[in-house]
Structure 1
Amino acid sequence: MSTATALVALPVAALSACSSGDESVQPAPLPAPPAEDDAGQFSVQLGPRPYYLVADMEEGELKEKLLSCSEGPFQRTDFSIGHRGACMQFPEHTRESYEAAARMGAGIVECDVTFTKDRKLVCRHAQCDLHTTTNILTIPELAEKCSEPFAPADAEAGTPASAKCCTSDITLAEFKRLCGKMDSANPDAATALEYMAATPTFRTDLYASCGTLLTHAESIELFSSLGVKFTPELKVPEVEMPYEGEYEQQDFAQQMIDEYKAADIDPKQVFAQSFSLDDVLYWLAREPEFGAQAVYLDERVDTAEGYEEAVSGMQRLADQGVKIIAPPMFALVTLDGKGRIVPSDYAEAAKAAGLDIITWTLERSGPLASGGGYYYQSVTDSIDNDGDTMVMLDVLARDVGVRGVFSDWPATVTYYASCMGL
């Protein structure tokens, strides 16, 4: 077997193993909480990665400080937010990913919220990502319901392999038959299995044989059992709204909050998020206890014009009642004349307007030798090794003053926060 064949064979085998489509096979029940230690808190376990990052740092005061904390104690902290769980190594938005995030000390964990064909709320990063995050393409009777069935790559025509499978294509009962997998797709694939077997090299399929998918309500139950807080993100629908002519955006926004109320969750434990300012304003007006700490996810910064608009409009946001803003990391930092990472105009404007800041997403870039890509784009010239993860984190915490950091591997943020007393 060639090396290339071996790289594909492992994830394909795993996908095949969890794709029987047998309706009698049900996901395992939600687990009991992990055993508590003597202090009444789940013991936090970080594993080797934070130590690898600290060892890779350039010599200096920050490295010495972080090295001094190597033996802990490490504690759960709201500064550490599990982005889709702990999806560097576990399939995102699965029970296994969420449990890993809690064990790594994340004090807040995220369920991105979308809806099925029968309008049940489930945890998925996007309404139409089932073809890249689950094994739906291996279950014929469900694959045929996809908005766009799998189409192989056509080199002659210059078209990549493609598919589009949405939660709104299937019912909740059908959704629960799926297995979560690492988010990936192979544009050169000739078959559905090849299309699905494309996990990035810095992630792994070791824990992806069949990730357990959850409804939003099940995530609330699980997070409660784990003792973590909630940060649900109301995803932008990819179907026309009102859905089926009657399900309005505000119905969707209200349904998400209603599931916390039905579970008797304290609103202060919930950080509802949206990229739509209208959703945040709706919660402020209709559910003020939840709206008080709703998070406006700011993607305007992806363009130069949007960035300037965001900087100049911070006070207007505050005047509308927004309390927490959350841009990607690069928007909060820039380089000074000496090439050091410092707070950006955006960060200064947000603080001047009295807004709290959360940011995303640490540990999503893979190896940093080539500058870190999207999340580090404003400081690329200063990023050249994995240890710079800790440098970025330190600037965000101490100089920008963020109140929390989303991470694909929460242990890294937990190590830093425990060391710095956050």
Structure 2
Amino acid sequence: MPLFMSIRLPLAALALSLSVVPPVAAQEVSRLADVGPRPFHLVDTMKDGPLKDQLAQCKGPFTTKNFSISHRGAPLQFPEHTREGYLAAAQMGAGVIECDVAFTKDRELVCRHAQCDLHTTTDILARPELASKCSQGFQPADPVTGRKASAKCCTSDLTLAEFRSLKPKMDAGNPNATTVADYMNATPRWRTDLYVDRATLMSHKDYIELVKSLGLKFTPELKAPEVTMPFEGSYTQQDYAQQLINEYKAAGIDPKDVYAQSFQLDDVLYWLKAEPAFGAQAVYLDGRDETDTGFDNMKAETWKPSMQELADKGVKILAPPLWMLVTAKDGKIVPSLYAQEAKKASLGLIAWSLERSGPLKDGGGYYYQSIKSVTDRDGDTLSLLDVLARDIGVIGVFSDWPATTTFYANCMKLN
């Protein structure tokens, strides 16, 4: 079966509403991309100006781009980290596909955004035999005390076989729920449950096999454990970091096709030392805005480590959230001090995560906080993307709907 069919058939079965790719020779199919209608909708909603005019002239054909990085698959519409979400991302032209990596009770690696998110991303709470194994069972909201509904179900609570038996759902939990059913029925209105029933959870090895078959690149993120390490007294953080790399080596994957990520600098430094071929393009995910007020205030003198110190340690690629790379000045989106300092240190930059904020009419929330004053429409997604690409020179952008980044990369002739 040609690669074209291996990508198209599962999506056709899900009735994905993307336009039909014309038949071409098999060797060309892996590079075709089907961006569907959303990018053109975003162009229509942009503010009038030269960028809108330029993008409005961009009609395709579109091809796969490494600039376009799939964030958790295609979670704007598909349950995250599922086979179907990865296939959708591939069809939309993502050249790099992400698997967030966590470990199970029997120390197998699986694709989950967090080690302990099964209560919001799967049906585990509706499965009594598995819910009983959760670190914390469901607790209903109490309007009298103000307690919110909660649960804590971790991949490390289950074996790989038990994990595989779960059914994925869109990531959400209703904090005001008094029943399990109400807690699970919480998908935001701007997403959809249309493709949930046939979605399939993935192990890390499953993901490697799938992405390899599609001829795309890999970006696994080693998620920070939410259990005490060493796990069960013997499984250390370095064991975990090494196991991730070992699975690529066992599959015969070229290290140049793997962008291993972590929010923990020590993981990146470990890969640089123990697996330099993989460490050479490991990605340090920068979440220090949540712990260091210097990043909120853009005071470079307080950043520890500094950009140059990161570069001196061997870090080559830095990946902050969108808002840290930009600011608003004179009614326009411009590069931030963070972006300028990173470029001075010759650090490559990757941004996350586009198309994760829902409608932008109210400023875009967390990912747009530094440019809230100039964000009031969905078309501002492309305005931000243009500054990231042309003014800052990011090497890639994560997106919950990779068609948008693929469209832009094709229009601007990026890699």
TM-score by length of 2: 0.92
Structure 2 SS opposite 1:250: helix
Match of 1:45 in 2: 34
Residue 55 of structure 1 is aligned with which of 44, 63, 77?
44
Count of residue pairs the alignment pairs up:
390
Superposed displacement of residue 304, structure 1: 2.6
Counterpart contact for 1:234–1:273, Cα < 8 Å: yes
* 1:211, distance to aligned residue in structure 2 (A): 1.9
**Whole-angstrom distance in 2 between the partners of 1:49 and 1:405:** 17
C-alpha contact (below 8 Å) 1:327/1:359 kept by paired residues: yes
Indicate how the Cα distance of structure 1 residues 291 and 279 shifts in structure 2: closer, same or farther if over 3 A, else same: same
**Letter matched to residue 125 of structure 2:** L
**What secondary structure, in the 3-state scheme, does the structure 2 residue paired with 1:40 have?**
helix
**Which one of 388, 393, 397 corresponds to residue 385 of structure 2?**
393
Q: Secondary structure at the match of 1:406?
A: strand
After superposition, what is the alpha-carbon deviation per residue over 1:320-342, rounded to whole angstroms, capped at 9, x for unaligned?
Answer: 10000000010000112x12111
Which deviates further from its counterpart, 277-286 or 34-43?
Answer: 34-43
Which residue number in structure 2 is paired with residue 283 of structure 1? Answer: 271
- CA distance in structure 1 between the aligned counterparts of 2:293 and 2:51, rounded to whole angstroms: 32
Question: What is the CA-CA distance between 1:33 and the residue it aligns to?
Answer: 2.7
2:294 to 305, 313, 324: 305
User: Are the counterparts in 1 of residues 64 and 406 from structure 2 also a CA contact under 8 Å?
Assistant: yes
Structure 1 58/311 Cα, relative in aligned 2: closer, same or farther at 3 Å?
A: farther
> Shift in Å at residue 32 of structure 1?
7.2
Q: Is the 8 A contact 1:301 1:310 kept in 2?
A: no
In 2, Cα distance between the equivalents of 1:354 and 1:398?
16
Matching of residue 111 in structure 1 with residue 99 in structure 2: yes
Aligned to 1:314: 307
Task: Give the corresponding residue for 1:412.
Answer: 404
1:227 Cα offset (Å): 1.6
- Counterpart in the other structure of 1:87: 75
Gaps of 5+ in 2: 9-22
Q: Aligned residue for 2:15?
A: none
User: Distance in 2 between the 1:44 and 1:412 partners?
Assistant: 11
- Map of 1:239-278 to 2, 5 A cutoff? 239-278=227-266
Deviation at 1:401, TM superposition (A): 0.6
What is the match of residue 194 of structure 1?
182
> Counterpart of 1:180 in 2: which secondary structure?
coil
Q: What's the RMSD between the two structures over aligned residues? A: 1.4
How far apart are 1:311 and its partner, in Å?
8.1
Q: Which amino acid aligns with 2:63?
A: Q
1:158 to partner: Cα distance: 1.5
Q: Aligned runs of 1:219-230 on 2, under 5 Å?
A: 219-230=207-218
> For residues 268 and 205 of structure 1, do their structure 2 counterparts lie closer, same or farther at Cα, with a shift above 3 Å needed?
same
Q: Distance in 1 between matches of 2:278 and 2:61?
A: 33
SS in 2 for 1:179: coil
* 1-structure distance, mates of 2:114, 2:68: 23
Task: Measure the CA separation in 1 of the matches of 2:24 and 2:241.
Answer: 38
Comparing 34-43 with 220-229, which one deviates more in the overlay? Answer: 34-43
**Structure-to-structure mapping, 1:319-338, within 5 angstroms:** 319-336=312-329, 338=330
Aligned AA (1:222): L
Q: What residue identity is the alignment partner of 1:420?
A: M
Give yes or no for contact 2:353–2:397 (8 Å, CA) kept in 1: yes
1:15 aligns with: none
Give structure 1 stretches of 5+ with no counterpart.
Answer: 1-30
Mapped to 2, the partners of 1:408 and 1:224 lie a distance apart of 21
Misfit runs of 4+, over 3 Å: 306-312
Q: Distance in 2 between matches of 1:187 and 1:169?
A: 22
Any idea what the Cα deviations from partners look like across 1:265-313, whole Å, max 9, x if unmatched? 0000000000000000000000000000000000112343245344870
1:355 is aligned, of 333, 347, 350, to 347
Fraction of identical pairs, as percent: 63
Name the aligned partner's letter for residue 335 of structure 1: A
| Alpha-carbon distance between aligned partners in 1 of 2:321 and 2:195, rounded to the nearest angstrom | 28
Match of 1:371?
A: 363
Distance 1:304 1:243 in 2: 32
Q: Is the 8 A contact 2:308 2:345 kept in 1?
A: yes
